[in-house]
Amino acid sequence: MKTESRLEKVLASGQLAVTSEVGPPRGCNVDIVKEKANLIKDYVDGINITDNQTAMVRMSSIAGGTIIKQMGLDPIIQMVSRDRNRLAMQSDILGAYALGMNTMLCLSGDHPQFGDHPMAKPVYDIDSINMIKMVKDMRDEGKFQGGADITEPPKMFIGAAANPFADPFELRVMRLAKKVAAGVDFIQTQCIFNTDKFETWMKQVVDRGLDQKVAILAGITPMKSLGMAKYMKSKVPGMDIPDEVIDRLAGVAKEKQAEEGIKMAIEQMQRLKECKGVKGFHIMAIEWEQKVPELVKGAGLYPRPQV
């Protein structure tokens, strides 16, 4: 074991892992974080706390993670290179670890152009891949980027994201390989709707043996409605939503669409359980955390293993 991370332990046990996420509030209300975490706590092995997601200011992920940790749960703190330089990131990692957080996700982050602070200076001192390497160097070599030794290094279980659907497709596996080379431990993928394409990607991952070096958690998002599916198809960049998803939702009455969406997500997880290389699921139930238990149960992943 490299770390104390519960996620690492679940994965090491050979069982399918389940993670989900909680977006911190746009204010100081601690209860919101707790409420959301309570909805999913028994059904997941780790809870992602997003870091100024979509470049909108929110409570910091480390603060959110601290609250969740205090609840006795397992936070996975997200960290984007958009808002901090190397100096700040390393100090935050030390702090987070000191507060009991041992699992993190390295991201570059949505460009400020998207969010509510487009006037802010984007930092991007380093990219997500160099961030992975930085965290790994801190953990395994006990070194800061400047070369100095860390007296008590943080032992972070290192995650990163992958989007099998972004362009160009032929680079998606190669870029994953770069993250693996940089030292990533687990991957949470972008939400999957085009399962065929995901399986194609997975096959290439397996063919290169990357699944032996990194644990891949397939990203699952249940569709709440036909409107949401259409919106994601047309408006959200990097989303690949095949027509059959739209058609299937359109085929049921409006009030039954949510139910159908859950059904579809469950079927998808059942299908992907059989997919070689898939080591678990990362469920992103956007503003729909209360459905996570149903999904986990439906996919036959409940109860979660005790490790």
Partner 1 sequence: MITAEQKPLQEIFGYIAPYEKILVVGCNECVTVCAAGGRKEVGLLSSALRLHSVKAGKKLEVLEHTLERQCDPEYVDQLKELAGQVDAIVSLACGCGIQTVAAQYAIPVFPGVNTKFMGASESQGIWAERCMGCGDCMLGVTGGICPVARCSKSLMNGPCGGNSSGKCEISEDVDCAWQLIWNRLVELGIQDRYEELVAAKDWRPAGGGGPRKIIREDLAASKIITEDMA
The footprint of partner 1 (CB under 8 A) covers 81-82, 86, 108, 110-111, 113-114, 122, 124-130, 133-134, 145, 161-163, 166-168, 171, 174-175, 177-178, 181-182, 190, 237-238
* Residue 57 C-beta: closest distance to partner 1, Å: 19
Could you tell me which of 166, 158, 154 has the C-alpha nearest to residue 240? 166
* Residue 108 C-beta: closest distance to partner 1, Å: 5
Distances (CA, A) of 166 to 50, 56, 119, 130, 149: 21, 23, 27, 20, 38
Cβ-based nearer residue to partner 1, 130 or 225: 130
* Residue 162 C-beta: closest distance to partner 1, Å: 8
Cβ-based nearer residue to partner 1, 86 or 273: 86
Cβ-based nearer residue to partner 1, 5 or 52: 52
User: Could you give the CA distance from residue 94 to residue 107 in angstroms, rounded to a whole number?
Assistant: 18
* Residue 152 C-beta: closest distance to partner 1, Å: 24
Looking at the chain, list the stretches that DSSP marks H as alpha helix, in order from N- to C-terminal side. Answer: 6-12, 30-40, 61-70, 86-98, 128-136, 169-182, 195-207, 226-235, 243-250, 257-273, 292-298
The residue type found at 195 is T
CA dihedral 235, 239, 240, 244 (to 10 degrees): -60
* Residue 137 C-beta: closest distance to partner 1, Å: 11
* Residue 254 C-beta: closest distance to partner 1, Å: 30
* Residue 37 C-beta: closest distance to partner 1, Å: 26
Cβ-based nearer residue to partner 1, 20 or 81: 81
* Phi and psi, residue 251, nearest 5°: -80, -10
User: Could you give the CA distance from residue 55 to residue 198 in angstroms, rounded to a whole number?
Assistant: 27
User: Could you give the CA distance from residue 8 to residue 5 in angstroms, rounded to a whole number?
Assistant: 5
Structure tokens at 1: 């074991």
CB 62 within 8 A of CB 96: yes
